Chains A and B, each alone.
Chain A
Amino acid sequence: MTSSGFARRLIALTRKETRQMLRDRSNLIIGLMLPAVLILLFGYGLSFDVRDARVAVVLEDSSPATLNAVAGLAGSDYLSPIWLHSMPEAEAMIRAGSADAILRVPSEFMRDLVHGSGQLQLILNGVDSNTAQAIEGYATGAVTNVLDHLSDRSDTRITGPEGIAMVQRIWFNEANNSTWFLVPGLIVLIMTLIGAFLTSLLIAREWERGTLESLFVTPVRPLELVLSKLAPYMVVGAIDLIMCLLAAKLLFGVPIRGSLGIIAFSSMLYLLVSLALGLWISGVTKNQFTASQIALLVSFLPATMLSGFVFDLRNVPLVVQGVSQILPATHFMTLIKTLFMVGDYWPEIVREVLILSLYAVVLIWAVRRKLVKRLD
C-alpha cells in the first residue's frame, strides 16, 4: 500500500513537473535552444587561433633583394602584412590599433645576412597577450620560412635565430586543437546550465506562489517532491548530451576515444549533481531571483572559469587550485576530457565517478532535508 502510494504520487508529481516545464517557454529556450547556440558558437565562432594578424612591415631598405626576401610573409594565412617605409608611421599604426605588430627590416639587413648576422626587430602589441604570443609564433615561423627559402637559393648557409622554430610548433598545434578541447568542455557547461540554473528556480517558485503549503498538507513525502523535480530535467539533459555528442562527431570531427556508455553515464551523474545543487540553492533561498543569481555565481561562472575549461588549472595559484577542486565541475571536466581525448583510463574514471557520486548523495540528502514539510 505504502509503496504503491509512493509510485502513484511520484508519477502524479512528475507528470505535473513535466507539464509545467513544457508549458514554460523560457525553460525550453534555456534548456534546448541555448545549448544548441553554445555548441555552434564554441564550435565555429570561438577559437584561440589568430588569423590575418596585421603586421606592419617596415622596410628601411627597399632594394629588390630585400623585398624579395620578405615577400614570403604575404603568403601566410595567419599574417597580413602592411608595407611601410618608416618606423614613426608603424608606431602610429600600432597606437591607433590598426596594426598588431611591427616587423622592422633594418637597412643593413641584407648585408649582415650574408655574414650570417642579419637582425630583424619584432615589436608586439601586448594589450592582448594571447594574441601577441600567437603572432610572435606566426611571425618567427614565417621569417624562418623566408630564410630557409633564401638559403636554398644561395649557397650560403643562413641560420635563423635559435628557439624560433620551437615556439612555432607549439602554437601551431594549439591552433589546431582548440575546438577539440572546447567541445568536451561544453558538455560540462551545458550540464551545469541545465542543472543548477534551470532547477534553481523550481522550489523557489513553489515557495513564492504558496503552492508548497498546499502540497505539504497532503500525503506527499519530501523525497517524492525531490525526485519528481529531478526527473524531467534529466530527460532534457540527456537530449542536450546527445546533441553535444552528435555535434562533436559530425560537425567538428572531435575524436571520441572513450566508450560512449561511460561518457553518457558520467554525464548523467554530473547532471544529477548539478540538478541537486540547483534544487538545494532554490530550497535555501526560497526566492526565484536570488536563487538564479546564486546558481549563476556558484555553479555556472566557476564552471567556466575555474574548472579548466579555458584556463589550465596547473598554472593558477594554489588557493585557486584548492577552490577548483571543491567544484564538481572540475572533476567532471577532467573526466570528460580524458574520455574524449585519451580513452577509457580506468583509474581516473573510478576516482572521479566516486567523487561525483559522493556529491550527488550529499546534495540530494541536503535537498530532502530542506524540504521538511514545515513552514518555519
Chain B
Amino acid sequence: MSGDIIRAEGLRQTFAGPDGGRVVALDDLSLSIRPGALTALVGPDGAGKTTLMRLFAGLLGPEAGRLSVLGTDVLADPQAVQDRISYMPQRFGLYDDLSVQENLDLYADLHGVPMAERQARFQRMLDMTDMARFTARPAGKLSGGMKQKLGLACTLVRSPDLLLLDEPSVGVDPLSRRDLWSIIKQLVEDEKLSVVIATAYMDEAERCAEVFVMDRGRLLASDTPDGLTARAEGLTYAAVPPAGMPARALQARLIDRPDLITDAVPEAGRVRFIRQPAATPDALAGLLGDIPAEPRPPELEDAFMMLLRQQGEVPPATVPADTRIAATGSAPGPVIVVRDLVRKFGDFTAVANTSFEVARGEIFGLLGPNGAGKTTTFRMLCGLLPATSGHLEVAGRDLRTAWAEARARIGYVAQKFALYGNLTVRENLEFFGGAYGLRRKALQQRIRASLEQFELDPAAKSGLLPAGFKQRLAMATGLLHQPGILFLDEPTSGIDPLARRAFWRTITALAEGGVTIVVTTHFMEEAEYCDRIAIQDAGEMLIIGTPREVRERAALGVGGATVRNMNEAFIAVVEQNRARRDNGRAAA
C-alpha cells in the first residue's frame, strides 16, 4: 500500500456536455501505480486519460473518490503535490515569443533549480533534444516535433519525484517520436524516474512496465504488456493475398464479418487479423477461400483491439451502397498530373520540383514529417493556393486557367470539422449542396442518398455528433456533388482506432467505385491502405511508389536491415535523405 506512488479509489468526474447534459469522463475508477517504473495509460479518445492525468496533477476536483499522489492527498493539498511533480500537458505551454533558452530559464526559475545545477541540466537537455543550436530561436518558430521536445525539456528542468506525460507524441512525426522516447528512456534508466504516460500508440505502451487500458471512463484491464498480449494468444493470424489482389481488398472482406473477425489491418503486403474466439476453423476457411492464413505471434495492439471490441458496440463499417460515380468524363489516363510543381513563400521553398501522377480510382497517400510540405502540396491540388511555377492538372483541367471547372469535379474534406455546428445534418447538406450548384429535386435526391449511405440522422445537430459521425458528415458533404476526386486532409487524426477502421472501409469502398482518393496522414500504418504513397521532407519528394516498393527501397538504403513496417520505412527514407543532403552540404 505505502509503496504505491499513485492510489485512486472510486474516482468519478463529469463535465457539462455540449447539449447541456453531463458527460461522464471517469466512472468509479480505481487504480494504483508503482514507483520507479514507466506506466502507460492507453485507450481511445474519450477514454478519460487526460482527465485522469489532470486529477493526478491536482488540476481538477473529482465528484467522488479519493486520490493520493506521492503519499499526499492531492485533493486536499494540490500545491504540495505540484511542488514535487512535473507535468507535460498534451499541448505544452511554451511561450511562443520567448526563445528556447528563455523558456527553459522561466521553468527553471519557477521550479527553483539552483544556479549551480542549472548549467549541467540545461546542457544535458539541449544535447538530448539536439537543440543546442537553436537556443536563441523563438519557440513559436520551431517545428511541431521540436516544440514537443522543448516542452519535454522544460518539464524536466529538474528531476521530479513523478513525471506525468499526457500524449507527448500526438501529432508528432515518427522521427520526432523516436527522439522523444529515447529521452524518456534515458531518464528512466539514469534517474529511476517514476513516469506515467498517456498514449494512443501501442508500440509506446509496449515499452512500459505496466499498462492500464481505459475506455469511456472505466478501467478495462491492467497488466504488464506481456500479460496483456497473452490474452490474444492463439487468435492472431496473417494472410497473404494472391498476386493481383490488393491487401486492402482482403482486409475489407475480413473486417466486414465482425461475427468471425475481431480486427483486420493491412500491413507490409499481408493482412493481419484476429479471429473471434468463437469462430470455428471451418467458418474461417469459408471466409478466406483458398487464401492461406498463418498463425502469427500476438502483439499488444491485438490485445488492445480485442478489449475494445469486447466492449460491444462495434461501429458499423459504412459501405457506400452506390458509389459508382456518374461517369464524369471517363477518359483513360491520369486524373491528376503534377509536373515540376514549386511553391515559395518569400525566400522559403515549401514545395520544390515535385512531379507525380494519380490514376483514376487510385488511393494516393501523401506522407511526411511536420513541415514537409504536405499541406501546401495538398492545397495547391485543391486549387486553394496558387503554385509559384509548374504544371498542375486535375480532372483534365489546368488549374491555372480553369480552376473553377476543376474544383467542381473535386470534393474536399478539411482536417478540422468545417461544417456549421449549429445547423442540423440536413441543413448542412442542403447548404453545401446548394453551394455546389445542386438544385431542388437533384439536391433532395442526393441528400437522401447520402443520409442512407453514411447512416446519418438528418435532424441531429451537427456540432453535437460524435467525432466519427462528424467525419462521416464531412465526407457526405464532400461527396454530395459526386466528384470524381476526393481530397482528404488528415482525416483520421483525433478519431479512435475503431472509428478509423470503419472510416478506411468507407474509403476503400469509394475507391472500388471509381473515386480517386488523395489523402494525407501521419499514421504510417494507414499508408498500407493506399495504392501508392509519396513521402515528402523539407519540400522535396523523396520517394513515390506502392507501399511494397517503398519498404523495399527503404530496406536497400539501410543495408538490407529489416524494415518491418511503414513506420520504419518512413524513418529510414527520411534519414537517408537527410544524411545525403548534409553530406552534400559538407562537400560543397
Contact = CB atoms under 8 A, between A and B. Distances in A.
Contacts of B57: 216-217
A374 B61 CA distance: 8
A375 B13 CA distance: 13
B82 A216 contact: yes
Q: Is the interface of B mostly helix, strand, loop or mixed?
A: mixed
Interface in A16-59: 16, 19-20, 23-24
Contacts of B105: 12
Contact of A218 (B15, B94, B107, B164): B107
Interface string B53-71: 0100111110000000000
A217 B97 contact: no
A212 interface: yes
Contacts, number: 93
A373 B59 contact: yes
B316 interface: no
A369 to B, nearest CB: 15
Nearest to A20: B97
Interface in B82-112: 82-83, 85-98, 102, 105-107, 109-112
Contacts of A153: none
A267 B136 CA distance: 38
Nearest to B80: A219
B144 to A, nearest CB: 14
Interface stretch (A65-73, A140-148, A193-201, A203-211): A203-211
Nearest to A206: B93
A286 to B, nearest CB: 14
Interface residues of A, number: 30
A5 B79 CA distance: 14
B78 interface: yes
A213 interface: yes
A263 B500 CA distance: 66
A20 B106 CA distance: 12
Nearest to A11: B109
A220 to B, nearest CB: 6
Contacts of A213: 54, 59, 89, 91, 93
Contacts of B91: 209-210, 213
A295 B145 CA distance: 37
Interface string A1-14: 00001001101110
Contacts of A12: 105-106, 109-110
Given A210-B89, A214-B87, A373 B78 contact: yes
B60 A373 contact: no
B98 A9 contact: no
A211 B93 contact: yes
Given A217-B86, A217-B87, A8 B97 contact: no
20 contacts: A9-B109, A9-B110, A12-B106, A20-B97, A20-B98, A209-B91, A209-B96, A210-B91, A210-B92, A211-B94, A213-B91, A213-B93, A216-B82, A217-B58, A218-B82, A219-B112, A374-B61, A375-B60, A376-B59, A376-B60
In order of increasing CB-CB distance, the 8 nearest A-B pairs are A211-B93, A12-B109, A214-B93, A217-B87, A210-B91, A23-B97, A218-B110, A213-B89
